[in-house]
C-alpha cells in the first residue's frame, strides 16, 4: 500500500466511491459524520467557501427528478470551490439513445473529477465504477440505496439526541420501495440503534427481519416506545399494484397527525426525507411542528455532501 493510502486509512477513509452504507463500516460512517460536523460551520460564515476542491470538477448526473439532493450536491461542491456541471437526462443525448456508459465516458473525457449519479436502476452507480476511473457517489439508485440521505438523517439524529447507539428508531411506510429505508437500516444498525419497520404487510416484507430489524404492522403499538420516527413518502410512481385499499385507509392507519403524535414520547423526533405528501403520511401541523426535524435534515445534507465530496476526491487514485 502506498504511503498516501496508508495515511488515508489511518485518517478513517480510503474509499474511492460512496455507493451505499452496506459497504461502510461503523468507523467509516462515524468518520463521514465527524467530517460533516467540521464542514457545517462553513455555511455560517459570511463568505461560505473553503478551497478544499479548488480546480476540481463535479458533475451531477441525474436521470431522475430531484429537488433536495441535486441542489445540495451543487451547493456542497460550490462551497468546496469546485466547478459544477449539471447534467439532466431529459435535456441530453440520452433522449437520442446514448447509453449510460457512453454518457459517463464522454463526460469523464472532459476532465471531471467526481460523478454524482441518481438513476432509477438499482446498481447503476456500481456499474459506472467499471466504466470510468473517477469517484462515483450514489445519489439514489432505484429502490436500492440513498447513502447521503441516510448519512444526513443520522447526522441530524446525533446532533439533536447527542448519540445514536441505544435509540429506538421507527421507519414508517413504503419500506419495500424505499432506498432511504435500506440505507438507514444499514447505517443505524451499524451505529447501534434499534430499528423497527412499520407499515402494511404489502409494503414491509417479513424477509427484511434478516437485516437485524423488527417489523410491526401497527404504528399505534410502536409510537409510544420510539425516540425517532422517520416517515417515508408513499411512492406512487414506484407502486405498480394495489398495495393498500385506499390512500385514506393508509393515512388512517399509518399517517402521523398531532393526535397520534401526542401518544409518543415527549421528545420524539419526527423526520421525513422529502418530498412530503402532505395529508397522506404526515399532516402539515406535524410536518411544521415542534417535533419536526425535516428542514434541519435538509440543512445538514449540505454539510454531509461536502464531507462526502471531500473524502472521495482525496483518496489516492482519485484525480
Q: Which residues bind ligand CP (CB under 6 A)?
A: 66-69, 140, 146, 149, 273-275
User: How far is it, in rounded angstroms, from Cα 100 to Cα 173?
Assistant: 32
**Is the Cβ of residue 16 or residue 70 nearer to ligand CP in the bound state?**
70
96 a catalytic residue: yes
Neighbour tally for 159: CB within 10 Å? 16
**Is the Cβ of residue 17 or residue 305 nearer to ligand CP in the bound state?**
305
**CB-based contacts of 10: which residues, under 8 Å, 6+ apart?**
none
For residue 117, the cross-strand partners are 61, 138
User: How far is it, in rounded angstroms, from Cα 46 to Cα 28?
Assistant: 31
Q: Exactly one of 68, 168, 265, 296 is catalytic; which is it? A: 68
Shortest separation between residue 203's beta carbon and ligand CP, angstroms: 18
**Is the Cβ of residue 200 or residue 273 nearer to ligand CP in the bound state?**
273
DSSP H/E element including 35: helix 26-40
3-state SS, residue 258: helix
Shortest separation between residue 271's beta carbon and ligand CP, angstroms: 11
Listed residue (266, 201, 191) closest to 26, CA to CA: 191
118 a catalytic residue: yes
Q: Exactly one of 96, 130, 206, 266 is catalytic; which is it? A: 96
**Is the Cβ of residue 140 or residue 200 nearer to ligand CP in the bound state?**
140
User: How far is it, in rounded angstroms, from Cα 113 to Cα 261?
Assistant: 45
10 a catalytic residue: no
Residue that the C-alpha cell 416506545 belongs to = 225
Q: Exactly one of 16, 56, 118, 305 is catalytic; which is it? A: 118
Q: Exactly one of 16, 17, 146, 305 is catalytic; which is it? A: 146
**Is the Cβ of residue 68 or residue 161 nearer to ligand CP in the bound state?**
68
Shortest separation between residue 153's beta carbon and ligand CP, angstroms: 10
319 a catalytic residue: no
56 a catalytic residue: no
Shortest separation between residue 229's beta carbon and ligand CP, angstroms: 17
Cα distances from 137 to residues 118, 119, 280, 319, in angstroms, run 9, 12, 31, 15
DSSP H/E element including 105: helix 100-109
Contact 109, 85 (CB under 8 A): no
Shortest separation between residue 252's beta carbon and ligand CP, angstroms: 25
**Is the Cβ of residue 274 or residue 289 nearer to ligand CP in the bound state?**
274
Q: Which residue is nearest to ligand CP (CB)?
A: 69
Contact 177, 238 (CB under 8 A): yes
Shortest separation between residue 186's beta carbon and ligand CP, angstroms: 17
Shortest separation between residue 275's beta carbon and ligand CP, angstroms: 6
Q: Exactly one of 17, 31, 35, 69 is catalytic; which is it? A: 69
**CB-based contacts of 311: which residues, under 8 Å, 6+ apart?**
13, 15, 18, 31, 32, 35
**CB-based contacts of 186: which residues, under 8 Å, 6+ apart?**
20, 21, 22, 24, 145, 150, 211
Rg over CA atoms, the chain:
20
Kindly list the catalytic residues.
68-69, 96, 118, 146
Amino acid at each position: 500500500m502506498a504511503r498516501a493510502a496508508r495515511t488515508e486509512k489511518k485518517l478513517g477513509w480510503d474509499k474511492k466511491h460512496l455507493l451505499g452504507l452496506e459497504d461502510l463500516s461503523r468507523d467509516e460512517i462515524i468518520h463521514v459524520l465527524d467530517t460533516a460536523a467540521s464542514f457545517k460551520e462553513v455555511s455560517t460564515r459570511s463568505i461560505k467557501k473553503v478551497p478544499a476542491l479548488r480546480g476540481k470538477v463535479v458533475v451531477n448526473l441525474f436521470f431522475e427528478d430531484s429537488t433536495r439532493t441535486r441542489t445540495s450536491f451543487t451547493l456542497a461542491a460550490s462551497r468546496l470551490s469546485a466547478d459544477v456541471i449539471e447534467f439532466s437526462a431529459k435535456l441530453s443525448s440520452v433522449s437520442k439513445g446514448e447509453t449510460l456508459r457512453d454518457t459517463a465516458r464522454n463526460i469523464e473525457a472532459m476532465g471531471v473529477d467526481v460523478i454524482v449519479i441518481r438513476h432509477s436502476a438499482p446498481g447503476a452507480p456500481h456499474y459506472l465504477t467499471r466504466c470510468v476511473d473517477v469517484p462515483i457517489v450514489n445519489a439514489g439508485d432505484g429502490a436500492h440505496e440513498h447513502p447521503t440521505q441516510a448519512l444526513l438523517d443520522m447526522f441530524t439524529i446525533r446532533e439533536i439526541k447527542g448519540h445514536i447507539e441505544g435509540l429506538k428508531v421507527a421507519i414508517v411506510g413504503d419500506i419495500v420501495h424505499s432506498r432511504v429505508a435500506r440505507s438507514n437500516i444499514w447505517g443505524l444498525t451499524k451505529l447501534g440503534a434499534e430499528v423497527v419497520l412499520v407499515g402494511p404487510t404489502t409494503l414491509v416484507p417479513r424477509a427484511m427481519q434478516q437485516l437485524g430489524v423488527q417489523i410491526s404492522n401497527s404504528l399505534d403499538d410502536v409510537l409510544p416506545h420510539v425516540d425517532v420516527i422517520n416517515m417515508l413518502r408513499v411512492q406512487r410512481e414506484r407502486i405498480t399494484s394495489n398495495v393498500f385499499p385506499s390512500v385514506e385507509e393508509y393515512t388512517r392507519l399509518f399517517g402521523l397527525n398531532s393526535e397520534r403524535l401526542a401518544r409518543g414520547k415527549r421528545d420524539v423526533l419526527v423526520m421525513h426525507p422529502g418530498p412530503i405528501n402532505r395529508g397522506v403520511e404526515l399532516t402539515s401541523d406535524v410536518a411544521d411542528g415542534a417535533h419536526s426535524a425535516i428542514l434541519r435534515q435538509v440543512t445538514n445534507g449540505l454539510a454531509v455532501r461536502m464531507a462526502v465530496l471531500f473524502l472521495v476526491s482525496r483518496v489516492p487514485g482519485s484525480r
